[in-house]
Amino acid sequence: MPIRILLLPFSWIYGLVVRCQTLSYATGIISQKQLKGAVVSVGNLTVGGTGKTPMVMWLAEKFLRDGRRVAILSRGYRGSAGSSDEIKLLKRRLGERVRFGVGPDRYAEGQRLEAQAPVDIFLLDDGFQHLKLARDVDIVMLDGSRRLKDEWVLPAGRLREPIAACGRADLLVVTRKFEPSPMNANDLHGRQLFFAQTKLLGFRELGEAGAPPLLSEIGPGPFFGFCGIGNPRAYFDDLNRWNVVVAGTQEFRDHHRYSQSDADELESLAERAGAGALVTTEKDEQNLTGVKFCKLTVYVAVIDFAVSREGEFITALDQILGERRGTTA
């Protein structure tokens, strides 16, 4: 707490800068750039994981079923050579059905894709603060495992923007909950509120393809869980919710690239904890390339995304798109 208090003046300055930037775009002092295709942004208010990647994947599948030509625009955070762990994961799950534009200038990436072939829907990954690019729908993800009203603005806290920024959102999705939000309704500015949770499809061995076997098919455990994602605690909580018997856990920094020494240490920790295998996330799998586990099997949790009142959510999304593009969605 003392450190947070010391950082509070910097948070006030940061918050003021963010408000000025937002106001500049809102009033047209700085103009947004417009792509030909519709843009659906998926973002959040905080640093760390809130389920943006599963939501982008879920939306891509929805628009593909509708017969839309879909592209994903991403900054490729902490990636290289035009990729990142999230992009690798999305490509693995969506394949060539979706096109990708990766880079800090997402407008330029969108233009490049449109020059090659028409795009009906652009999904702007982590786009809420990327105001340079105009969007038709803003979806904001909120972590239901944390009390938003208790958070402070960077650098004293985890908020990228003040809570009032929720007023810019069209749809708010509280992840990791299928029940009333712990947040004060006044903080949400009356926006349409939905809830979502990850849904376990099964576990497959690290690097393997094909349909993931059910938990009952890989044995009773116990397992040793590890991950390097934005909210490790949420993943470990999911393991418990999925009835995975966990003997121990180890977390790493978000986007951690694993070394052979990491793998050796994880196997040692798992053995000492009495675990018979390890379990991790699909995102972590992308950062385990070239790493060998010689003693224990590593299983990857394959998940889906379940949105409460799914029909209402899709209707609201299509209605907003239709109104703002001047077409029937």
Question: How much is the pLDDT for 156?
Answer: 86
How many structural domains are present in the chain?
2
Question: How much is the pLDDT for 8?
Answer: 80
Residues 257, 284: Cα–Cα separation, whole Å:
8
Q: Are residues 92 and 203 located together in one domain of the fold?
A: no
At what angle are helices 85-94 and 52-65 packed, to 10 degrees?
30
Helix (H, G, I), strand (E, B) or coil at 16: helix
Residue 190 lies in a domain: yes
Q: Are residues 36 and 145 located together in one domain of the fold?
A: yes
Question: How much is the pLDDT for 5?
Answer: 80
Q: Which two tokens stand for residue 281?
A: 């996330």
The tens digit of pLDDT for each residue in 210-221 reads 778 878 888 888
Question: How much is the pLDDT for 82?
Answer: 65
Residues 287, 242: Cα–Cα separation, whole Å:
24
Q: Are residues 59 and 207 located together in one domain of the fold?
A: no
Give, in order, the Cα–Cα distances in Å from 238 to each of 23, 146, 272, 321: 39, 15, 23, 33
Q: Are residues 172 and 70 located together in one domain of the fold?
A: yes
Indicate the average pLDDT of the chain. Answer: 89
Residues 97, 91: Cα–Cα separation, whole Å:
9
Burial of 31 (C-beta count, 10 Å sphere; 0-12/13-18/19+): exposed
Q: Are residues 54 and 41 located together in one domain of the fold?
A: yes
Question: How much is the pLDDT for 293?
Answer: 97
Q: Are residues 260 and 282 located together in one domain of the fold?
A: yes
The tens digit of pLDDT for each residue in 261-291 reads 999 999 999 999 999 999 999 999 999 999 9
Question: How much is the pLDDT for 329?
Answer: 44
Which residues are paired to 277 by β-bridges?
A: 223, 297
Residue 16 lies in a domain: no
Residues 74, 61: Cα–Cα separation, whole Å:
17
Tell me which residue range forms the domain holding 295. Answer: 199-304
Which residues in the chain show pLDDT less than 50? 181-187, 328-329
pTM equals 0.88
Q: Are residues 297 and 319 located together in one domain of the fold?
A: no
Q: Are residues 221 and 268 located together in one domain of the fold?
A: yes
Question: How much is the pLDDT for 168?
Answer: 93
Residue 151 lies in a domain: yes
Q: What is the DSSP string of 81-146?
A: TTB-HHHHHHHHHHGGGSEEEESS-HHHHHHHHHHHS--SEEEEET-TT-TTB--SEEEEEEETTS
Residue 187 lies in a domain: yes
